[in-house]
Structure 1
Amino acid sequence: MATLILVRHGRSTANTSGVLAGRTPGVLLDERGAAQAAELPARLAGLPIAAAVSSPLERCRETLRPLLDARPGLALHTDERISECDYGDWSGRKLAELTEDPLMEVVQQHPSAAAFPGGESMPAMQRRAVEAVREWNARVEAEHGPDAVFVMCSHGDIIKSVVADALGMHLDLFQRISVEPCSLTAIRYTRLRPFLMRLGETGDFGSLAPRPAKESGADDGRAVVGGGAGAP
């Protein structure tokens, strides 16, 4: 079966400013994010990538641009179903401010019951993302064979929800998963079950070093909604 490589977009201006970007237009990669994207072709060198799929949001398309430039024959497809979660009224607000909202506890502890005002529910987010992944997996395999590899650039909560599905985890446990900016996660789907081959691979262990609690975003055990900024 085909192998999917999920790429979280590189670090964005919203990540570093502590803002939950959601689908807010004009959110681009920052300097570090652009550097992370530039390293992507070398990190994926040697892999026969058959297709590239992206969230329509600019920060994802920016992340894949160096890879596409390095492989002129590789076309880019966009799919709305792997776009960022529609956080509705939460979009564009500071994460520090959102921690005081009662909904945040639900997002952290019981995401299968979380629905964002003016936006979508987290179960709806997972359903559309998993549907997209499985349809693209079948399409790539049909067109390029069972050993094909394809990349899909998306967002933190989307990737975490796809990983949870692959592992047979309830959505309420998906906040235990962490994927940093420009990390690579590989899933191989087979007839009987998916196999998680890599999770949040960056090649950089710097983010594991102790940091001041106010910078960690999860010093009290809370997950960073939207995925966080990664290593400083």
Structure 2
Amino acid sequence: MFGSKLSALTFIAIPAKAYATDWVYVMNNVMVLAIAPVVTYFYLPYFRKLKLTSVYEYLQIRFDRRVKLLGSFTFIVFQLSRLGVVVYLPALVLSTVTGINIFACILVTTIITTAYSVAGGIEAVVWTEVMQVFVLLGGALVSFFFITSHTSGGFGGFIREAYANDKFRVANLGWSISEPVLWVVVIGTLLTNLVTYTSDQVVVQRYLTTPTEREARRSVYTNALMVIPATVIFLG
């Protein structure tokens, strides 16, 4: 579950955003802790009781087939637009490092991921994401230590430099609705995560694959706990 939300966007975009601004978006992942009890108490038991394969099957049970198809369609459109960015970013990096044409990088990445997903099903997807967690978090840690060791003054100099430029600010106080002030970020990310963990097939599918409800509940909380140190690493 954690691996399914960990992507090139996390690895490339979040550090760039933190570097350009500060840590005000840390609440985006902290709110996962807040919605985990809601998911495990209200949604997870109900979805598992219905023995769903797709979360959108619920829409047909509750309403009708047209609503289910609409929900599935909007999910696919969203994923296509998201995956365009998710595939493009690592292809851009790979092309820059190796000199390979970026279109070739995109094509090879797409073919490989599609092939193992079709051939291995959800089990292949899950185990690939487990490996990705180690690779991406390991790479982030290596990058972090490389950056701090090459900063004047080492880790202490890194902290002083960031602090002097107000990079550790986690909250903007105010009442504007067009700025990332605290109340906007908290409410916005709370609702965003609630939608993601209760209606996004990518996430719901993961906690429906476990043998028991207890293990599904444990997976939701494990994901919520892993999000915090990962967030600190990538923002750092």
TM more than 0.5: no
Which structure has more relative contact order (CA 8 Å, sep 6+)? It is: 2
TM, length-normalised to structure 1: 0.29
Larger Rg over CA atoms: 2
Structure with higher strand content: 1
TM, length-normalised to structure 2: 0.28
Structure with higher helix content: 2
